[in-house]
Structure 1
Amino acid sequence: MSTDVSTRTNRRTLYFGLSVLAGLVLGALLGFVAKQTDTAWLTTTLKTIGNIFTSLLQFTVIPLVFTAIVVGVTSLRGLGGGRTAARLGGKTLLWFGITSLIAVLIGIAVGLISGAGKGVSVKPSEAAVARLADRAQGDWLTVINGLVPDNLFSAFSNGEVLQVVFVAVLVGIATYALGERAAPFVAFNQAAFDIIQKVLGWIIRLAPLGVLGLIGTAFATYGNQFFKPLLSLIAAVYIAALLVLFVVYPVLLRFVGKVSPRTFFAKAWTALQFAFVSRSSGATLPLSRQTAVNLGVEPGYAGFAVPLGTTTKMDGCAALYPAIATIFIANLFGVGLGFWQYVGIVAVAVFGSFATAGTTGWFTMLTLTLSTIGLPAEVVATGVAIVYGVDPILDMIRTATNVAGQITVPVLVARGEGLLDDEVLNAPSGPPLLDDQPAREEPAPKDKDLVTA
């Protein structure tokens, strides 16, 4: 039964991805026709469709960011008790942060070198242009002063997303500190987040139409000049992801984990292929966990670290991609990024994924990143909607990168903690099994304090 459900889910995902790509192609064709024939009504129709989709996305940004951070910060309490669990959890999160830092720096470097998004200048509204100008003239003191709202409600009503992020982090830490006394508030935010996720899911179903309108408007305005920026985004993301996959992880495995990269990829290849095709770290979780076990990781620790990594370890979606996409969107809107804005991109990549555990991956992380560097909500929503047109293509390599990192980190930590079985690591094995017969017998954890998922 579960196999049938999984098959239907993968089929729906495939059909949806194809429909988004179809919307992209049809929108480009209609926009090109509107540009060449100077058909005003077609241009207006495409613009209206795109504006409606952007507005729908925009009104979810503020509540999504606030509830995601509050729920994410409080969920960190779920690491469990016990000194062994705390030590393993701490080292796991530390390596998550280190590899995210490397990935986001690679993303920034590739984004800057490739000049992703240059060649076309998208014009936001006059109000957004004025706010962008104000932010561009400020220094780091202006950024810090702008973090704190004059009053709580103005940050939300005025769409000051960066202030909402600050308030959410502050509230999340306070909620975490209060523990059980704040349980009703946590439950309320969890329910609100689930509601927003449901509404967002409905909006996302309109993505083929929204992409058609947005890409069509872009081509109707700029003609075929828009091909080059989109292709530059795709190329930059794939180059950065391949560098992380086949350079960063192998170096760490060889010199920190004392594991042959060839052995790692031989045992992890099935999981990586499935991640690339399914575009889902969650769907790949059983394969990822069993792959870590086949690589010699203690099963109890693998059962803790890999599921944790599925929600908080996203080098593809939460580190390198938001960095490149942010540079791409900034270039599209003609916004020059300063030093402190790049610092903000790095900070969100390293710490943001911890605060958005279990959320909508790249969408939330890109929204957080764009908001953190000070872009208005309108620009954030429009930029996210534009990159959504090629998201199915990007999501394949992003997900494969995510899954590779989710397997690599447990191997590194297990080696340092003496929880890596070299006999199992070096033993030949077929693809990870998903039935009731695991690839190797999984004994109970050696330490009674070890937390299992």
Structure 2
Amino acid sequence: MSDTTDPKPAKTGFRIPVPFWAQVLLGLVVGLALGFVARTYDVAWLATTLDKVGGIFIQLLKLAVAPLVFFAIMVSITNLRKVNNAARLAGRTLLWFMITSLIAVVIGLVIGLVSNPGSGSHLTAADGAKPDHAGSWLDFLTGIIPTDVITPFTELNVLQIVFMAVVAGVAVLKIGAKAQPILTLSESVLELLQKALWWVILLAPIGSAGLIGRAIVQYGWDLLGNYATFTVDIYVGCALVLFGVYPLLLATVAKLNPLQFFKGAWPAIQLAFVSRSSVGTMPVTQQSAIRLGVPKDYASFAVPFGATTKMDGCAAIYPAISAIFVAEIFHLSLGVREYLLIAFVSVIGSAATAGLTGATVMLTLTLSTLGLPMEGVGLLLAIDPILDMMRTATNVAGQALVPVLVSAREKILDQAKYDNASASAIDDLESVYSEPEPQPQPAAPAAA
């Protein structure tokens, strides 16, 4: 009796694998060109199409945000029971969140003080407008606890969703075996959401074309003239943190090759740049951390919390430079006290940023704490989409970095996986959202 196996089906057709980053870059180039045509030649239908395409892409991402945050945080809390020294790891994670945020805000302050971003623009106080609602510390503290369980999901209040998820996760741990059906259901729902989000991610090249094209049509190139120094400051500050501070920490604190980190984290960073959503990118960030050797159970805790509280771009660099920009526009002076307050708000208040597109909540919180005019928010809203891409990429890189640093320091990092980490091509990206299903084993032949 011969032992035979079914041959694998032969692949048919010819396909050139295109890296995901190349597809996204092509989408950005196409979006720039279409936006230029629509604005220059006043092509109304093209402008409307770009607006709808970009809006639908962001709407699809936001559709999954509320349930994704709830179930990801809840499951991550329960996963801590599988991790040795869970309390120590959680404490170290939060500590490094604050350390890297402090470094980022200092860089933002230095850049703002050196470049004077508001002095070279032609903007005045009259160009600003107060937002409908300004964030404050009282709102932040009292807004953590929801008034009911439905409103946070309908109004997309991520901070309240995180609160409910933490409470639910702790309750499941305390109940124990009786809560296992709830935990099993939550894990299944989380996998379902990640799979659905994968389908949205496939649209990222098209969505990026719509988003960048919409920005060009709405604001044009003239907008960059008034915000040139401010825009450069944000990009330079984020680049210094992303490509300077993070590699330095990896090399000195964790004794790791920074190049390998960027190879493993690149799918998450590039998606964050396009989507402008830390929460929407969260499943990719989590799997990137796992590919870099972070234990799965620890990554499932650290990354979801980072996606809602760890914002080096939006909550550190951006508010620091923005505060200096607004103060210069309104001819107000900032002193050492104000700079210390900016650092405090950035390190402690970043949880208010929510991990969604835009950083208006953090900006209003910073301006209100410093006593700066709220009209400054209106000055910055126009340029925000252009800035948010780089800010979010920096956020997500930091959310992947901290679990790697902590794992390396605690001697739980899989060094072999880290050394072999590589960026995924588009054909491999689905593995970020779903692990291969186990193949059924052939039944053993019956005894004669």
TM-score category by the smaller chain?
A: 0.5 to 0.7
Q: Distance in 1 between matches of 2:101 and 2:229?
A: 23
Letter in 2 for 1:341: E
More displaced 10-residue stretch of structure 1: 379-388 or 333-342: 379-388
How far the C-alpha of 1:99 sits from its partner, in A, is 0.5
SS at match of 1:93: helix
Tell me the amino acid that sits aligned with residue 422 of structure 1.
Q
Structure 1: runs of 5+ lacking an equivalent: 1-9, 30-71, 129-158, 176-182, 198-207, 443-453
Match of 2:93 in 1: 92
Residue pair 1:110, 1:324 contacting (<8 A) in 2 also: yes
5+ unaligned residues in a row in structure 2: which ranges? 1-23, 43-69, 160-212, 438-448
Residue of structure 2 in register with 1:424 after alignment: 417
Shift in Å, 1:275:
2.5
TM-score, normalization by structure 1 = 0.60
Residue of structure 1 equivalent to 2:250? 253
Partner of residue 63, structure 2? none
Consecutive aligned runs of 4 or more in structure 1 exceeding 6 Å deviation: 17-26, 208-213, 437-442
Corresponding position of 2:139:
168
> In 2, are the aligned partners of 1:294 and 1:440 still within 8 Å (CA)?
no
Check conservation: 2:277, 2:355, Cα contact below 8 A: no
1:23–1:211 CA contact under 8 A, matched in 2: no
Mapped to 2, the partners of 1:243 and 1:196 lie a distance apart of 29
8 Å Cα contact 1:118/1:229 also seen in 2: no
Closer, same or farther: CA 189–397 of 1 in aligned 2, 3 Å? same
> Measured at CA, do residues 117 and 305 of structure 1 come closer, stay the same or move farther in structure 2, by a change above 3 Å?
same
CA distance in 1, matches of 2:343, 2:319: 10
CA displacement 1:76-100 (0-9 Å, x = unmatched): 9x95675843332222111111101
Q: Is the 8 A contact 2:101 2:316 kept in 1?
A: yes
Name the SS for the 2:125 alignment partner: coil
- Structure 2 residue identity aligned to 1:167: L
Please tell me whether the aligned partners of residues 272 and 281 of structure 2 are also in contact (alpha carbons under 8 angstroms).
Answer: yes
Do the aligned partners of 2:278 and 2:307 also contact (CA within 8 Å) in 1? yes
Shifted more, 243-252 versus 347-356: the winner is: 347-356
- Distance (Å, rounded) in 2 between the aligned partners of 1:396 and 1:255: 28
The equivalent position to 1:322 in structure 2, one of 319, 322, 325, is: 319
| Whole-Å separation in 1 of the counterparts to 2:35 and 2:116 | 24
CA 1:386–1:430: 2 relative to 1, 3 Å? closer
Q: 1:270 aligns with which of 267, 270, 280?
A: 267
What letter matches 1:171 in structure 2?
Answer: T
Residue identity over aligned pairs, in percent, reads: 43
Q: SS in structure 2 opposite 1:435?
A: helix
Matches within 5 A, 1:18-417: 79=77, 84-120=85-121, 122-124=123-125, 165-171=136-142, 185=147, 187=149, 190=152, 193-194=155-156, 228-358=225-355, 361-377=358-374, 379-388=375-384, 391-392=385-386, 394-417=387-410
Aligned to 2:13: none
Could you state the TM-score of these two structures normalised by the residue count of structure 2? 0.60
Residue type of the alignment partner of 1:242? A
State the distance in 2 between where 1:195 and 1:363 align: 14
**Against the structure 1 CA distance between its residues 285 and 227, is the aligned structure 2 distance closer, same or farther, given a 3 Å change threshold?**
closer
Q: Matches of 1:123 and 1:264 in 2, distance apart?
A: 43
Between 1:281-290 and 1:257-266, the stretch displaced more is: 281-290
Return closer, same or farther for 1:322/1:212 CA change in 2, 3 Å cut-off: farther
Q: Classify 1:79/1:438 alpha carbon distance in 2 versus 1 (closer, same or farther; 3 Å).
A: closer
